[in-house]
Amino acid sequence: MRNKSGQISIMIVCLILGIMLAVQFKNTQNSDLHLRGARSDELLFTLNNVTQERDSLAREVISLREKIASVQNNNDATAGIQDELKKANMAAGLLAVEGPGVVVTLNDSTRTVQVDEDPNSYIIHDKDILRVVNELKAAGAEAISVNNERIIAMSEIRCAGTTILVNSNKIGPPFIIRAIGDPQILESGLAIKGGIVEELKYYSLQVQIQKNDRVEIPAYGSAVKFNFSKPKKQ
Amino acid sequence: MWLLTFFCLLIGVLIGFQLPILLPVIYVKYMSIGVLAALDSVFGGIRAYMEDSFDNIIFISGFVTNTLLAAGLAYLGDRLGLELYLAAVIVFGSRLFQNLGIIRRYLLKKY
């Protein structure tokens, strides 16, 4: 009799165990991990496609711009307008430019991080670049590029995960910021006491400022699109 | 009788797959420890049954408390930042093998 009830309870417990096993099995199968893996593969594929598309479009933009320039050059009557246009393009960052200026190189600290220190203090962040660019603008820079990405009016400098995006392109250290302007003023603007360079050096980040007689800055690589704004009617 | 027990396990698995229950990911770990404890209890019960020292109350209460304790230990370990669930894994794992060995010996002796 005791054995009979024992059998029944073992059966019931086995039933419960079966349910638990199945639920657990289902869970580990549907676990987030698998989903995430599949999703990241898919996203990587899409990213590669889009990156290729972007590169080919960027080449197209530059060749089309050259075509426009050559058409305009053939017409003498519009010489005045061309001059205007060239200036406007330069201001918009659509022309590669050169001139005297500075080259600022920023890099992460080579110091080994101690146990009680925050490793984030020893790497270059988006806001460090942003502040250097801002300082250069304040010191009268006429054209600025960060790792060959031309800074235009709509450019962003933004942290995205472990990389920094400029003009939606990923850039990584070392960050080379080129600026055209009066080299002396640009340099002293950056190196001012209590300024950005002093602060970066305090965290033992690598900062180099090089004055240069000839700094080349590339044109903005993508198309400038206006989806929402249009000229105001007079 | 053992066939019936196995059949019950199968039915349980089927019911479990049909149930629309999906545990949140954070609880999966606790559930897996619970499953391990339950497995241990079942094997312990079968062993005791074979040794003729089976006690219904001990079996059922052992099943419930072991499962809850194991899951609770894992939870406590997470709160403390200590991998306490490893203790449950080791204890239940080694006991599982022990029980399995004894059951095997009994079966071999019997047939």
| Per-residue pLDDT at A36 | 57
Same domain, A110 and A187: yes
Describe the strand order of the beta sheet including A163-166 as a list of residue ranges. A157-160, A163-166, A169-171
Distance (Å) from the alpha carbon of B25 to chain A's nearest alpha carbon: 7
Q: Which string of b and e fits A114-143 if b means at least 16 CB within 10 Å?
A: eeeeeeeebebebebbbbbbebbeebebbb
* A143 Rama class: left (phi>0) / alpha (psi -120 to 50) / beta: beta
Q: Tell whether A63 is covered by a domain.
A: no
Q: How many domains does chain B have?
A: 1
Domain of residue A103 covers 98-217
- Predicted ipTM? 0.79
Say what percent of chain A tops pLDDT 70.
Answer: 91
Q: Tell whether B53 is covered by a domain.
A: yes
| Per-residue pLDDT at B32 | 84
Domain of residue B89 covers 31-110
Q: Tell whether B84 is covered by a domain.
A: yes
Task: Using CA coordinates, name the residue in chain B closest to A19.
Answer: B16
Amino acid at B6: F
Contact A31 B25 (CB under 8 A): yes
d(CA A102, CA A53): 33
CB atoms within 10 A of CB A94: 19
| Per-residue pLDDT at B94 | 93
| Per-residue pLDDT at A179 | 93
d(CA A18, CA A15): 5
With cut-offs at 50, 70 and 90, classify the pLDDT of residue A14.
confident
Residue pair A105/A175 in contact by the 8 Å Cβ criterion: yes
CB atoms within 10 A of CB A78: 13
Do the strands A206-217 and A97-107 form a parallel or antiparallel pair, or are they unpaired?
antiparallel
Same domain, A35 and A124: no
Name the residue facing B12 among A2, A6, A18 (closest C-beta).
A18
Q: Per residue in A32-43, pLDDT tens? A: 555 555 677 778
With cut-offs at 50, 70 and 90, classify the pLDDT of residue A6.
confident
DSSP H helices, A194-233, are 196-202
pLDDT by residue, tens only, chain B of 111 residues: 778 888 888 888 888 888 877 777 677 778 888 888 888 888 888 888 888 888 888 888 988 998 888 888 888 888 888 888 888 889 889 999 999 999 888 888 887
d(CA A185, CA A111): 31
Same domain, A126 and A44: no
Q: Tell whether A88 is covered by a domain.
A: no
Name the residue facing A27 among B1, B23, B39 (closest C-beta).
B23
Averaged pLDDT for residues A156-177: 87
Question: Omega of the bond prior to B20 within 30 degrees of 0, cis?
Answer: no
Averaged pLDDT for residues A120-133: 87
Question: Counting every residue, how long is chain B?
Answer: 111
In degrees, rounded to 5, the angle at the alpha carbon of residue B102 between the alpha carbons of residues B13 and A20 is: 15
Q: Per residue in A77-98, pLDDT tens? A: 677 777 788 888 888 888 889 9
Same domain, A39 and A143: no
| Per-residue pLDDT at A1 | 41
| Per-residue pLDDT at A37 | 59
Q: Per residue in A194-227, pLDDT tens? A: 888 888 888 888 888 999 899 999 988 877 778 8
Averaged pLDDT for residues A134-148: 90
Residue pair A59/A52 in contact by the 8 Å Cβ criterion: no
Q: Tell whether A171 is covered by a domain.
A: yes
Averaged pLDDT for residues A15-26: 84
List all residues 6 or more positions away from A187 whose beta carbon is below 8 Å from its beta carbon: A102, A209, A211
Is the pLDDT reported for residue A106 higher than 80? yes
| Per-residue pLDDT at A77 | 63
Provide the chain B residues 7-66 that lie in CB contact (below 8 A) with chain A. 8-17, 19, 21-23, 25, 28, 31-32, 34-35, 38-39, 41-42, 45-46, 49, 54, 56, 59-60, 63
